[in-house]
Amino acid sequence: MDRIKLLSLFISIALYILSYPPFNIPFLIFFAIVPLFLLLPKLSPKEAFLYGFLYGFGFYGINFYWIPNLVAKFANLWVGILANLLLISYLSLYYGIFLWGVKKKEESIFFPAFFMALLQWIRSHGPLAFNWGSLGEPLVNIIPFLQWASVFGELGLSFFVVLVNRVFSKWRALNFHKKIGFILFVFFVFLSGFLMLGDSEIKYKIGAVQGNYDSFSKYFYTNIYDQFIVHRDLALKLPNNLDLIVFAESVLFCYLNEYPEYLTGLRELSEYKNSPLLIGALERRDNKIYNSAYLIAQDGSYVTHKKAQLVPFVEEVPFPFTLVIPEYFRGLIGNYNRGPGFNPLLLKEKSIGVLICFESLFSDLARELSKKGSDFLVVITNDGWFEGTPAVYQHRNQSLLRAVENRISLVQVANTGITFFVDPFGRVIRESKEGERNIFVAGLPKRVFSVYTFWGDLPIFIGFIIFLLIKLIKE
């Protein structure tokens, strides 16, 4: 590697990182691939793959610096380092394949944008699904551009970012009319985003309880009864007659359906406050263990959402890796079962779409809940694992994207981390400080129509097919 190539790689990685929390300079994402695109003519296809891989490795390596120390608390530091290297390497493969593919279609303006959208979709599905760190995510901090998520989803935002990067990399080769056309296009996208902004009447009054227990104290050191008392006493300070009181993920780290004393206490709390409760706890049914959210009504009845999108190699060992992973490592991984799917929890005249932690990373899951009639979305999470790292804010941004994609209000409640309320246009209504023990009340607007909820990612794939057909006809 010569100095120019290395410098181009480092500049691209730096721009990518600076567009993300904690730096939050979102406009830099429009230049984050330009140095690599400019470098492509000097690279062979194999070198293009290598530089793409190193691009992803640099970004995720810095982004996930906290993972080894986290894993070390369960196993040891070397296991944490190995796990992190495997995760980073897997995610980096997509960037290697991306730059290799772009090298093959070096003259194309649109191919890189379509190809990245396709790779991001693949990365978000299957047993190793892990949608973290997309190129479109920084646009959460540019409200007009963010609105287009309600039309084309997060894939559409990534498509737009890659397209802008590609045009900038070809700028000197473009004629005057193409340059003007591109400027007008970006201006149209920005201005129309402003025009998409609207207002929606407040329909639901929601309370949230952030108990501020770090993950290790909650799971290993703190008495469950103490946690129950702390969260109950906080909830008692909330107003009565709320549409919902939300607690975080795994507030009670026990099989709540097998602990009548806690269920009775929660039922009494719901009746006393005249408000339904949503609380995270474990659930055991037919010898299967679930990470669940319990919706408890004032009459004492309850229904649950069982987490269906589990974190690979943390909450489950995905098949076929169960056949090859040594017993020692399997013993460090959770043995949760997947829930049956995604359906809103029904409560009288309300329909509540619930996502548990990792599930909020996936556009199709929130879309499914919205399509099935959810009035608003609730994300319960345990961001204490992130221990004050930028990952807390990156997870927040993912939840915010789900709200805008489906033009639906959303509340995220964390054990410790960030609890916040957001409207269908991505405007934060109220937000906690990180690591704050407190209660919050906010009004959520009713949902409005979302094109993305209607058609999902279909336009991106149809566009890609049309693009490929045109290329084939021309060739």
Go through the chain and tell me how many residues it has: 475
Structure confidence by residue, pLDDT tens digits, 84-119 = 999 999 999 999 999 999 998 888 899 999 999 999
Alpha helices in 197-310 (DSSP H): 215-216, 224-236, 260-273
Nearest CA to 450 out of 219, 234, 88, 153 is that of 153
Mark whether 238 and 171 lie in a shared domain.
no
- Same domain assignment for residues 173 and 39: yes
* Domain end position, chosen among 179, 197, 215: 197
Do 16 and 33 lie in a common domain?
yes
- pLDDT at residue 456 is higher than 50: yes
Determine, yes or no, domain membership for 345.
yes
pLDDT of residue 79: 79
Residue 474 included in any domain: no
Same-domain check for residues 109 and 240: no
Has residue 281 been placed in a domain?
yes
CA-to-CA dists, residue 61 to 31, 137, 213, angstroms: 20, 18, 28
Residues 153, 363: contact at Cβ < 8 Å? yes
In this structure, are 162 and 216 located in the same domain?
no
Higher pLDDT, 10 or 382: 10
Cβ-contact 253, 281 below 8 angstroms: yes
Say which CATH number the domain at 358 has: 3.60.110.10
Mark whether 149 and 271 lie in a shared domain. Answer: no
For residue 315, is it within any domain?
yes
CB contact at 8 A, 166 and 112: yes
Residue type, 122: I
Q: Is the pLDDT of residue 217 over 70?
A: no
Is pLDDT of 324 > 80?
no
Tell me if 457 is assigned to some domain.
no
What is the mean predicted confidence (pLDDT) over 385-404? Answer: 92
- Do residues 71 and 150 both lie within one domain? yes
Q: Average pLDDT in the 415-440 region? A: 93
Domain annotation covers residue 400: yes
Q: Which of 171, 197, 223 is the last residue of a domain?
A: 197
439 φ, ψ to 5°?
A: -120, 155
Q: Final residue of a domain: which of 182, 197, 212?
A: 197
Burial class of residue 341 in the structure, from the number of CB atoms within 10 Å of its CB (0-12 exposed, 13-18 middle, 19+ buried): exposed
Q: Could you tell me which residue, 202 or 320, shows the higher pLDDT?
A: 202
Average pLDDT over residues 213-233: 78
Position 463 in a domain: no
Q: How confident is the model at residue 273 (pLDDT cuts 50, 70, 90)?
A: very high
Q: Which of 37-41, 179-183, 200-204 has the lowest mean pLDDT?
A: 200-204
Question: What's the 3-state SS for 388-449?
Answer: CCCHHHHHHHHHHHHHHHHCCCEEEEECCCCCEEECCCCCEEEECCCCCCEEEEEEEECCCC
Q: What is the mean pLDDT of residues 458-462?
A: 94
Q: Which residue type, as a one-letter code, is found at position 442? A: A
> Can you give the pLDDT at residue 99?
98
* Residue 323, pLDDT score: 44
CA distance readout (Å), 336 to 47, 129, 177, 242, 305: 41, 17, 58, 32, 14
Q: How confident is the model at residue 349 (pLDDT cuts 50, 70, 90)?
A: confident
Given a contact cutoff of 8 angstroms between Cβ atoms, the answer to whether 332 and 326 are in contact is no
Range of the domain at 75: 3-197
Question: Is residue 155 located within the same domain as residue 235?
Answer: no
**pLDDT at residue 325 tops 60:** no
Task: Please indicate, yes or no, whether residues 130 and 111 belong to a single structural domain of this protein.
Answer: yes
* 325, part of any domain: yes
Task: Tell me the pLDDT band of 83, cut-offs 50, 70 and 90.
Answer: confident
Q: Is the pLDDT of residue 222 over 70?
A: no
Distances (CA, A) of 129 to 53, 87, 115, 282, 446: 18, 11, 18, 23, 31
For the chain, what percent of residues have pLDDT higher than 90?
Answer: 79
DSSP reduced 3-state for 205: strand
**Residue the block writes with tokens 């929660």:** 266
Do 225 and 155 share a structural domain?
no
Instruction: Determine contact, residues 273/235, Cβ cutoff 8 Å.
Output: yes
**Beta strands across the sheet bearing 350-356:** 345-347, 350-356, 376-381, 410-414, 420-422, 428-431
Q: Which of 54-68, 191-205, 382-396, 417-431 has the lowest mean pLDDT?
A: 382-396
Number of folded domains that form the chain: 2
Average pLDDT across the chain, whole number: 92
Do 100 and 211 fall into the same domain?
Answer: no
- pLDDT band at 327; cut points 50, 70, 90: low
List C-alpha distances in Å: 337 to 87, 315, 327, 341, 356: 22, 8, 19, 12, 14
Return the SS3 of 107. Answer: coil
- Banded pLDDT at 333 (limits 50, 70, 90): low
Same domain, 134 and 20: yes
**Predicted confidence band of residue 320 (pLDDT cuts 50, 70, 90):** low
Question: DSSP character for 244?
Answer: E
- The pLDDT of residue 383 is 85
Instruction: Inform me whether the pLDDT recorded for 218 exceeds 70.
Output: no
